[in-house]
Amino acid sequence: MTKKELRLRDDFYSFPTCLKCHKLYNKQEVEDYKENDINSVMKCRHVEFSNLATRRNRQCQTILSEQVLTIDRFKLKFKLVYPFAGIRQQLMAFYNRLNFKNFLRHWLNRTNSDEILSDIYDGQI
């Protein structure tokens, strides 16, 4: 309700993430996970350095979510979520800022001090 009134947009994709190895998973994959045709909590299946012949293929096995009881059913709550904004949304927000063209040349009007090495940005090393 408040988001609509303030016209706030949530353009983030959220990915459940392993607490131990930080592997990202699709949200739908974790929510729809089943063992023996029963909904259950998914564990991380990441194998570090899986191409090494000398290393045993041991999966991470960290729990990715927990079941939380709501009013009428159980719901999954992810242990860690990685929010990600797509590059298109980021560029659109960047280009649609007020006075965007003026900010492109803003660095030319900065004040330079003799004690600070700032000419490296101008290509005069």
Residue 124 and residue 118: Cα distance in Å, rounded?
A: 9
Tell me: pLDDT of 6 over 80.
no
3-state secondary structure of 62: coil
Tell me: pLDDT of 68 over 60.
yes
The tens digit of pLDDT for each residue in 84-117 reads 888 988 888 888 888 888 888 877 777 767 777 6
Q: Which one is predicted more confidently, 125 or 78?
A: 78
Residue 37 and residue 11: Cα distance in Å, rounded?
A: 33
For strands 74-78 and 81-85, give the pairing.
unpaired
Kindly state the DSSP code that residue 112 receives in the 8-state scheme: -
